[in-house]
Each structure stands twice: as structure tokens, then as C-alpha cells.
Amino acid sequence: MGDSFYEYLLKVWIQGNKTEHVKHYRQMWETSMEGLLSLTKKTTPSNYYYICEKNGGSLSDKMDELACFAPGMLALGASGYGPEKSEQIMNLAKELARTCYNFYQTTPTKLAGENYFFHTGQDMGVGTSWNILRPETVESLMYLWRLTGNKTYQDWGWDIFQAFEKNSRIESGYVGLRDVNTGEKDNMMQSFFLAETLKYLYLLFSPPSVISFDEWVFNTEAHPLRIVPVSDNKGIGTPVRQFGRKQGKPE
């Protein structure tokens, strides 16, 4: 998916230990973030920041819960800027996380719908109303807690976990909701709930030394990849030799 591309521009730079060999990935990420900033708006009266959806040349005042990975990505990348820009990016990450948390808090079940619309004079309204146990919001809360030390993000994560426990837990596991307004269940547990959602919640309440950001970077599916030591990263960013699928030989 397109969102993973932007995430990986940043994370390749981090995994490569932020050296000159991978600097161009950071530069590409910063360029793409200028585009993201141009898509950011805020609501009245509550000043919720959100990322518009762009369709061709037009903007739609709609944001998917899937886009709630962005606060964590922005927070992770903020420190690579100078002081003023770093503060701007981190503040945007915090504001977007607040919006994503309120995707959950504004429904009767306290679980987020799949997407939200922002109409003039209104803060937010659920569009597609199912919840399939997605990880993006708790992922961002984990990043923000680790990078700021603000326990508010743990409190928000606990609220979301309790909502899963109340509405989604059944005897054999967890299920999504067909409608976050009524609480009707869908009888399906997505694999990413175990692989990502619960993993990020676990890390949100674990010491920062558990899979430390000093040694590891997560890919988009929450698998930790070790950061390449400076002494070993001379090959990072060099051309990759192509191999034939059958012969296993260079083409």
C-alpha cells in the first residue's frame, strides 16, 4: 500500500543508522512530508487536526483510521529536523494522535469506525462504521509514549484496550464489530490483531528497553529489524544484484 512507502523511506534511513549512505531516503521522506502538511486541516470547534484524502486534483474532508499510523511515523522522524521544524512535526504528531484517539471516544462502543468525515462546523462523524481491530492508533500511541514519556498516551491506549475487552472479546478470542454504534459483532478475528494491535499495546505498557528504539526499527507489519551497526553499513544503499528465480545466478 502507498502508506508503507512513506513509512519505509524513514525507516530505511533509521535501519541504516542515519549515515550518508542512506541520507537520500531521509531527504525523500522530508519532501513527501511537505506534501502531507499541505493536506492537513483542522475542525471547528474542537480543533481536531486531520489529513485530507486526495482524489486526483480534489481534496475530500475524510480520514481513514488506517492513516492513524502517521502520528507515530511523524514522531519517529521529528528528531531528524532542526529544532524549529522538529517541534512543528512533533506537535502535528501529537494533534493527529488526539484526533485518532477521539475516533474511538466519540462512538457508543468507544471503538473507532473505519473512516471519518469532517463537515463544516462539525468535528467528526463516522463514515464506514465497522471496526476490524486495526493497530494504527495504538501503534502511534506507543511511539509517542516512548518518544515523549507522556503517560497520557498510555491512558489513551488503556481506554482502547478496555473497549476491545468489553466489546470484542469472546470465549475463543476477539472479534471485530459490524457497527461501532450498535456493537454488533462480525465473528472474525483478523491476524493483525495478534501480530500488531496486541503487540503495540504490550509495548505501550513495557519499559522502553523492551525492543529498544536504539537497536531496532519496526517494519509496517510490526516485525522488529535490527539497526545496522555503523561499522557494518558500508553496503547500505549500494545497488542490489539481480538473480534469476530458477538458476540463482546473477542476471
* pLDDT for position 245: 37
Tell me whether residue 165 is one of the annotated catalytic residues: no
Per residue in 181-216, pLDDT (tens digit) is 999 999 999 999 999 999 999 999 999 999 999 999
Q: Which residues are annotated as a binding site?
A: 220
Q: Please name the amino acid found at residue 245.
A: R
Lowest model confidence (mean pLDDT) among 26-30, 35-39, 120-124? 120-124
Q: Which residues are annotated as a binding site for Ca(2+)?
A: 220
* pLDDT for position 240: 36
What confidence category does residue 234 fall into, taking pLDDT thresholds of 50, 70 and 90?
low
* pLDDT for position 116: 98
Residue 123 has pLDDT above 70, yes or no: yes
Query: Which residue is catalytic, options 7, 30, 84, 114?
Result: 114
β-strand pairing of 115-117 with 40-42:
unpaired
pLDDT over 90 percentage in the chain: 85
Residue extents of the structural domains in the chain: 2-232
212-230 b/e with 16+ CB inside 10 Å = b? ebeeebbebebeeeebbee
Place of cell 522502553: 208
CATH fold label, 2-232: Glycosyltransferase (1.50.10)
